[in-house]
Amino acid sequence: MSEGSSWAVVFGGPSPEHEISILTGLQAERVLARAGHAVTPLYWAPTGGWFVVPSATEAKDYLNGAPSGARPVEVRVGADGGLFVKGRLRSERLTIDAALTCLHGGIGEGGGFAALFALLGIPTTGSTMYASALGMDKLAFGGVMEVAGVPTLPRVALEADVEPPFAGPYIVKPRFGGSSIGIEIVDDIVTARVLGRTSAHLRGGAVVEPFRGDLVDLNISFRTAPTLEVSDLERPLRRPDGAVYSYDEKYLGGSGEAAGLASAPREMPAQVPDEVTALAGTLARRVAAVTRLTGVVRVDFLYDPTSHELVVNEVNSVPGAMALYLWASRRDAAQVLVDALVEARDAPPVSAPSGFGSGAALRAAGGIAGKLVGLDGPRG
């Protein structure tokens, strides 16, 4: 049950996708508030500060940082950890039953936020830190898909002295990026390496894979509560020149309240054979099982309309607009978000157990000094 629950919506964060995270967070806050739920909007500034912000703020209110009326929040880690809203005389604990993460990219989507809130004892959507990190690491994710037998394109790390096992042209992506930011198409590996050294988005690590101009994008969402379920399948529409579906097309199209992901050009549902739609659902369920991602997740495919080849490209553990537009024909938007929050509160993902051991290793250790013998380097 969710009646009387106090939810938080967390957005912002230190990430290149900070602004899109704000948009997703404000949309999610509105969806929950309009459905009658108590919502605390919690803003993570790019400089690291945390703030409770007024309800129903607008995107423009964040142009210069935290909006007017924001109250600083102190994050305390320890035996009595939690979030505390700073007041004139004292700080008051912020009581939250579960937090909806709307953090895109960076350490927010990549597992850092999940780890922090686990230490604070606050349930949160968006999977464990382990699953979140896997979803953010394109090289690791591709490797796991390959080992699990899930069809995917070959993908390798961009290295200075190792040739890819496939011919160009190549698509070069940030290894740890969560969106279309920094993606480039190049003809040869030499150009890819130059980009790897000079692009601010690629210097932290990059991956290369074959660029297939004959493939189109297909997206589907899965959610894990109350049961594992998949959404409608969509086809985002690329530009006529066949270029990669860009960040601007995905997030900055339209104007006014219609701007953003919900107004991006798409074919919904995707006009593909029924067996392709069914296969997309099957593969999405496989991704869920293999990665252990929870909440509301989007899986991105590449599809060959001629041969009907379908491969998993990437996964988004915190999708733009929470992928609510993919569920619109099947589920109420507020219910999708509340189900994820209830799952986080009542059935959190199982993590590695913590606590004390039996003490056997400590009793048997003996003196630590004796264990340092031979570690003081070579002797002349």
Cα–Cα distances in angstroms (integers) from residue 307 to residues 70, 273, 284, 310, in the given order? 54, 11, 20, 9
Beta carbons within 8 Å of 146's beta carbon, 6+ residues apart: 152
Instruction: Say which DSSP state 349 is in.
Output: P
C-beta neighbour count of 160 within 10 angstroms? 7
Cβ pair 124, 344 in contact under 8 A: yes
Quote the CA–CA distance of 121 and 125 in Å, as a whole number. 13
- The alpha carbons of the chain give a radius of gyration, in whole angstroms, of 23
Quote the CA–CA distance of 176 and 204 in Å, as a whole number. 8
Q: pTM of the entire structure?
A: 0.89
> What is the pLDDT, as a whole number, of residue 358?
79
| Whether residue 354 has pLDDT greater than 80 | no
Binned at pLDDT 50, 70 and 90, residue 375 comes out as confident
Please write the tens of the pLDDT for every residue from 301-321.
999 999 999 999 999 999 999
Sheet containing strand 6-12, strands side by side: 92-93, 82-85, 71-76, 50-52, 38-44, 6-12, 98-101
Please write the tens of the pLDDT for every residue from 331-341.
999 999 999 99
Please write the tens of the pLDDT for every residue from 92-148.
999 999 999 999 999 999 999 999 999 999 999 988 999 999 999 999 999 999 999
> What is the pLDDT, as a whole number, of residue 188?
96
Q: What percent of the chain has pLDDT over 70?
A: 90
Burial class (CB in 10 A: 0-12, 13-18, 19+), 169: middle
- 240 preceded by a cis bond (ω within 30 of 0): no
> What is the pLDDT, as a whole number, of residue 258?
43
Binned at pLDDT 50, 70 and 90, residue 274 comes out as very high
Please write the tens of the pLDDT for every residue from 244-269.
555 455 545 544 444 455 667 889 99
Q: Which domains does the chain have, with CATH numbers?
A: 6-127 (3.40.50.20), 154-211 (3.30.1490.20)
Mean pLDDT of the chain: 90
> What is the pLDDT, as a whole number, of residue 365?
85
More confident residue, 257 or 188: 188
Both structure tokens of 138: 């394109």
Please write the tens of the pLDDT for every residue from 26-82.
999 999 999 999 999 999 999 999 999 999 999 999 999 999 999 999 999 998 899
Q: What percent of the chain has pLDDT over 90?
A: 77
> What is the pLDDT, as a whole number, of residue 267?
94
> What is the pLDDT, as a whole number, of residue 259?
47
Cβ pair 129, 114 in contact under 8 A: yes
More confident residue, 126 or 206: 206
More confident residue, 362 or 67: 67
Residue owning tokens 């993606």:
183
